[in-house]
Structure 1
Amino acid sequence: MNNYDIETVANKILEMILNHRPIPIEVSGRHVHLSQEDMENLFGEGYRLTKKKDLSQPGQFQSNEKVMLIGPKGVIKNVSVLGPVRNETQVEVSKTDAAALGINPPVRESGNLKKSASLIIAAGKSVIKADEKVIVAKRHIHMTPFDAKLYGVQNGDNVKIQTLGERSLIFGDVVIRVSNKYKTAMHIDFDEANACCYLKGMNAKIVK
């Protein structure tokens, strides 16, 4: 067998592996990450989040605490606070949420908050101003280093993915985020989930 034949066979084997190793899709609803300072301003000095349930990404959890988002045109109640606390407060909403609130947050990767949108966060009678803290999260794939090598991608790459469901579609500009702290999964918001008729357990594959 010559080198060309070996490469052809290897590529076919890799394609078979990837087709049987689809990427699970998870839908991320509106939520808030709080800094310790902002959490204490909302819930009291020395306050600690209380865990409701673990999320799919290791170490991340949904807390029992809820807040209200207040914008120029509307409010959204009972918004989940996710833990653990972060160095900086960050609010993630969909474009539909943003329209209801009357704000226009940019589509950004997590942590990129400069010149983002602002709103009010309330909990009970406590209120804080979240200046340049609001984004629409850019769709992304959390990926383990092993899976990144398997798929031939690196941290920060942008790829196209195809959803595998009744209303299959291709999402472009999906950022790859690689870490040994991650579990491989794609995250989209509810607007994107509605577009592809998302059902729990739906998967996706990278298309090149």
Structure 2
Amino acid sequence: MKQVPIGVSARHIHLSENHIERLFGSGYQLQVLKDLSQPGQFAAVETVAVVGPKGRFDKVRILGPARSKTQLEISRTDAFTVGVNPPVRESGHTEGTPGITLIGPAGEVTIEEGVIVAARHIHFHTDDAAQWGIVDKQLLTVKIDGERSLILEGVIARVSDQYALDMHIDTDEANAAGTKTGHIALILS
């Protein structure tokens, strides 16, 4: 049986080094609040406000370390609230996506693109993927059992020796399935 732990990904932002400095001050370094399931990744103490055409979210958690490009990951419900229409994309694929304004304690930044609804995916360490015959970018079908069982299709396999086994879904998907971080999903195919 191919079981994988679920990680529910709430709205969050990845910032470039340049944007960290513009929002928090020259030379600023993010402080670790807690480590995440993926090695070397962390939720930062710091947050920013996110402002769209129709609304805003205060205290959007920053995930570190810094990335090459700033990217905001929100659910479809969040997108309605702030008034943007982001596509479902893999992380890092921000070309042609909406922009948004970010406000930090030392300044603000308006990004021209970078807002996505993250595509559901499973991080596989290369050893786990090899054991189960799964290859990078393979599309999987996954079942979440429970009171509101749900089958998710098109779950992207992301394989690397830098990853730890974990399935990432957003809050809309988790709510639809009645699941939460730490529950177990079953890979059907």
CA distance in 2, matches of 1:200, 1:36: 29
CA distance in 1, matches of 2:59, 2:171: 16
SS at match of 2:29: coil
CA distance in 1, matches of 2:63, 2:181: 21
Long gaps (5+) in structure 1: 1-18
Report the alpha carbon displacement of residue 114 of structure 1 after superposing the two structures with TM: 0.3
Aligned residues: 189
Any idea what the Cα deviations from partners look like across 1:11-67, whole Å, max 9, x if unmatched? xxxxxxxx2x51000101100101010110110011100111111111000111010
Say which structure is richer in helix.
1
Q: 2:92 aligns with which of 81, 90, 111?
A: 111
**Structure 1: 4+ residue segments shifted above 6 A:** none
AA aligned opposite 1:69 = V
- Are the structure 2 counterparts of residues 182 and 117 from structure 1 closer, same or farther at C-alpha, using a change threshold of 3 Å? same
Which residue of structure 1 lines up, in the alignment, with residue 104 of structure 2? 123
Structure 1 window deviating more from structure 2 (39-48 vs 143-152): it is: 143-152
The structure having more radius of gyration, on CA atoms, is 1
Which residue of structure 2 lines up, in the alignment, with residue 164 of structure 1? 145
Which residue of structure 1 lines up, in the alignment, with residue 29 of structure 2? 48
**Structure-2-length-normalised TM-score:** 0.97
Q: Is the 8 A contact 2:122 2:165 kept in 1?
A: yes
CA-based RMSD: 1.0
Give the fraction of aligned pairs with identical amino acids, expressed as a percent: 46
AA aligned opposite 1:75 = R
CA distance in 1, matches of 2:182, 2:28: 36
Q: Is the 8 A contact 1:164 1:202 kept in 2?
A: no
Report the alpha carbon displacement of residue 164 of structure 1 after superposing the two structures with TM: 2.4
Report the alpha carbon displacement of residue 200 of structure 1 after superposing the two structures with TM: 4.0
Any idea what the Cα deviations from partners look like across 1:111-165, whole Å, max 9, x if unmatched? 0000011110001351101111110000000001111112211001111100122
CA distance in 1, matches of 2:164, 2:36: 11
1:33-182 equivalences under 5 Å are 33-124=14-105, 126-182=107-163
Any idea what the Cα deviations from partners look like across 1:82-116, whole Å, max 9, x if unmatched? 10001111110000000000000000000000001
Q: Which has the higher contact order (CA 8 A, sep 6+)?
A: 2
**Structure-1-length-normalised TM-score:** 0.88
